[in-house]
C-alpha cells in the first residue's frame, strides 16, 4: 500500500512509502502566515461580550499587536487582475516603500463615513470578491493606522470587515499610537527602573529597585525580585525564597510569577504541574496581553501542551513567540536570547521531526500547591 504516487517524466510511477514525510516550513507571524491571533480573538470577544470590558480587551490586544510590530494588508485602488481572477497580491503584497502614493481602497458606511480596511490575514482579505483579487500593500499596523490619520477624507480603519470586525475612529487611533507609557500603581515606577537597570546589566541596582517595588505592594516587583533570587543576579541565590515571592505574586494573578513557578516545576521534572501554572498564566494574561509575558505563555504552551494536541496551533504560538523574542533581543531584554533559542529549537522540532507522543501525565489529577 502506498501513500501517494507521482508521475515521472519517463512515464513511470514513483511511489512514496507510507509514513514518510517531508519537512514542513515554519509559519511566520504575518498576514501570510499566522495572522494576528490576539486581535482576531479580541474582536470575537467584543462581539460576544458587547460590553466595556471586551472593548478594553480589544484595546489591550491592539497595543500588544503594536508592540509585536504586527503587519497588516491594506487594499489599494488600482486595476484588478484579469476578469477578477484571484491575483497573487495577498500572497505577494506590495512593500510599504513601493506603495507610497498609491490610492487607497476604502469603504463607506450608510452614514457617509469613510473607512480604510485593514486585514490581519490572507484569509480575511480573501473572504469577499471585492478584495480577493485586489492589490494589497504590506504595512505594519502602526504605519497603516498613521496612514489613515494622515489621509484626508478617511475617518478611521475597520479591521477584517468581512467577518467579525471592529472600527477604530481617529480618536482611538490617536490614543493607540500616541499615548505615553506611564507606569501606574504602587511600586510601578521602581519596577520599571529595575527593568532598565537589568537591560543594562546592572543587576544589583535592578534587585534594589525590585525590592523597593515589592515593599510597596507591586506584584511585578515581587516576581522580578524572585527572578533575581532564583538566578543569583545582584543578590545571593535562593530558589526557596524566590518560590515564596512568586507564590505571593501569583495570588494577585501576576502572569510573570505564574510562568516562573511553571518553569521551576519543569526544571525539577514535574511537567504536569508546570503545565497547570502555564495554563493559569494564559488565563490571567488573556485580557491584557503584553510583550513582557504573553510570548512566554505562547512558548510554554507550545512546548508543554499544543505540540501534543495540535501541531498547527503549536507552530502558530511558536511563530508569535519568535516575533516577540526577536524584538526583545534587539532591546537587550534579559533572557531574550535564551527564549529565542528555545523557540527556534521548538520550531525546528515541529517542522522536521515526527509528531511527538502525547504527554504521559494526567492533568486532571494534578493540583497546585
129 and 67 share one domain:
yes
C-alpha distances in angstroms, 103 versus 99, 106, 111?
9, 9, 22
Residue ending a domain, among 178, 204, 226, is 178
Residue 77 lies in a domain: yes
41 and 170 share one domain:
yes
Q: How many CB atoms lie within 10 A of CB 183?
A: 15
41 and 171 share one domain:
yes
Number of domains composing the chain: 3
52 and 130 share one domain:
yes
* Torsion, Cα of 28, 29, 32, 37 (10° steps): 140
Residue 20 lies in a domain: no
Residue 25 lies in a domain: no
C-alpha 313 chain-centroid distance: 12
Terminal-to-terminal C-alpha distance of the chain = 52
Please, are residues 67 and 325 in contact by the beta-carbon 8 Å criterion? no
196 and 172 share one domain:
no
Rounded to 5 degrees, φ, ψ at 106 are -125, 170
232 and 331 share one domain:
no
CATH number reported for the structural domain that contains residue 205 in this entry: 1.25.40
Strands 13-17 and 71-75: unpaired
Residue reference for cell 516550513: 25
162 and 192 share one domain:
no
Residue 204 lies in a domain: yes
85 and 132 share one domain:
yes
Residue 230 lies in a domain: yes
46 and 166 share one domain:
yes
Q: How many CB atoms lie within 10 A of CB 218?
A: 26
Please, are residues 115 and 167 in contact by the beta-carbon 8 Å criterion? yes
C-alpha cell at 296: 512566554
- Domain range for residue 206? 186-252
Q: How many CB atoms lie within 10 A of CB 36?
A: 27
Residue ending a domain, among 178, 201, 216, is 178
Could you read off the pLDDT tens digit of each residue along the chain, which spans 369 residues?
Answer: 334 434 444 444 443 333 345 557 899 999 999 999 999 999 999 988 888 999 999 999 999 999 999 999 999 987 655 444 545 666 789 999 999 999 999 999 888 899 999 999 999 999 999 999 899 999 999 999 999 999 999 999 999 999 999 999 999 999 999 976 776 789 999 999 999 999 999 999 999 999 999 999 999 999 999 999 999 999 999 999 999 999 999 999 999 999 999 999 999 999 999 999 999 999 999 999 999 999 999 999 999 999 999 999 999 999 999 999 999 999 999 999 999 999 999 999 999 988 766 665 555 555 555
Please, are residues 219 and 229 in contact by the beta-carbon 8 Å criterion? no
268 and 292 share one domain:
yes
C-alpha 115 chain-centroid distance: 26
Please, are residues 190 and 221 in contact by the beta-carbon 8 Å criterion? yes
55 and 154 share one domain:
yes
Burial group, residue 93, by CB count within 10 angstroms (0-12, 13-18, 19+) = buried
Residue ending a domain, among 146, 178, 210, is 178
Q: What is the spatial distance between Cα 205 and Cα 194, in angstroms, rounded to a whole number?
A: 7
170 and 193 share one domain:
no
Amino acid at each position: 500500500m502506498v501513500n501517494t504516487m507521482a508521475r515521472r517524466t519517463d512515464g513511470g510511477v514513483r511511489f512514496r512509502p507510507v509514513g514518510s514525510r517531508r519537512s514542513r516550513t515554519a509559519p511566520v507571524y504575518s498576514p501570510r502566515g499566522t495572522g494576528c491571533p490576539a486581535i482576531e480573538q479580541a474582536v470575537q470577544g467584543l462581539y460576544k461580550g458587547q460590553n466595556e470590558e471586551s472593548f478594553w480587551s480589544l484595546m489591550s490586544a491592539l497595543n500588544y499587536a503594536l508592540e509585536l510590530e504586527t503587519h497588516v494588508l491594506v487594499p489599494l485602488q488600482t486595476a484588478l487582475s484579469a476578469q477578477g481572477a484571484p491575483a497573487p497580491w495577498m500572497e505577494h503584497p506590495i512593500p510599504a516603500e513601493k506603495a507610497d502614493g498609491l490610492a487607497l481602497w476604502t469603504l463607506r458606511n450608510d452614514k457617509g463615513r469613510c473607512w480604510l480596511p485593514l486585514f490581519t490575514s490572507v484569509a480575511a482579505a480573501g473572504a469577499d470578491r471585492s478584495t480577493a483579487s485586489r492589490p494589497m500593500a504590506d504595512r505594519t499596523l502602526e504605519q497603516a493606522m498613521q496612514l489613515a490619520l494622515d489621509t484626508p477624507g478617511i475617518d478611521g480603519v475597520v479591521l477584517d470587515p468581512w467577518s467579525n470586525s471592529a472600527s477604530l475612529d481617529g480618536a482611538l487611533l490617536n490614543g493607540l499610537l500616541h499615548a505615553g507609557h506611564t507606569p501606574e500603581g504602587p511600586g510601578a515606577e521602581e519596577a520599571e527602573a529595575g527593568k532598565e537597570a537589568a537591560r543594562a546589566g546592572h543587576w544589583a541596582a535592578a534587585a534594589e529597585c525590585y525590592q523597593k517595588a515589592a515593599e510597596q505592594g507591586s506584584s511585578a516587583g515581587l516576581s522580578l525580585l524572585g527572578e533575581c533570587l532564583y538566578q543569583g543576579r545582584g543578590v545571593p541565590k535562593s530558589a526557596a525564597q524566590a518560590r515564596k515571592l512568586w507564590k505571593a505574586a501569583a495570588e494577585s494573578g501576576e502572569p510573570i510569577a505564574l510562568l516562573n513557578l511553571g518553569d521551576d516545576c519543569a526544571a525539577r521534572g514535574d511537567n504536569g504541574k508546570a503545565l497547570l501554572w502555564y495554563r493559569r498564566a494564559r488565563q490571567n494574561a488573556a485580557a491584557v496581553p503584553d510583550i513582557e509575558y504573553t510570548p512566554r505563555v505562547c512558548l510554554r504552551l507550545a512546548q508543554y501542551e499544543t505540540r501534543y494536541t495540535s501541531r498547527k496551533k503549536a507552530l502558530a504560538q511558536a511563530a508569535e513567540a519568535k516575533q516577540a523574542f526577536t524584538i526583545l533581543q534587539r532591546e537587550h531584554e534579559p533572557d531574550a536570547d535564551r527564549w529565542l533559542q528555545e523557540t527556534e529549537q521548538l520550531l525546528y522540532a515541529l517542522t522536521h521531526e515526527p509528531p511527538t507522543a502525547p504527554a504521559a501525565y494526567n492533568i486532571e489529577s494534578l493540583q497546585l500547591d
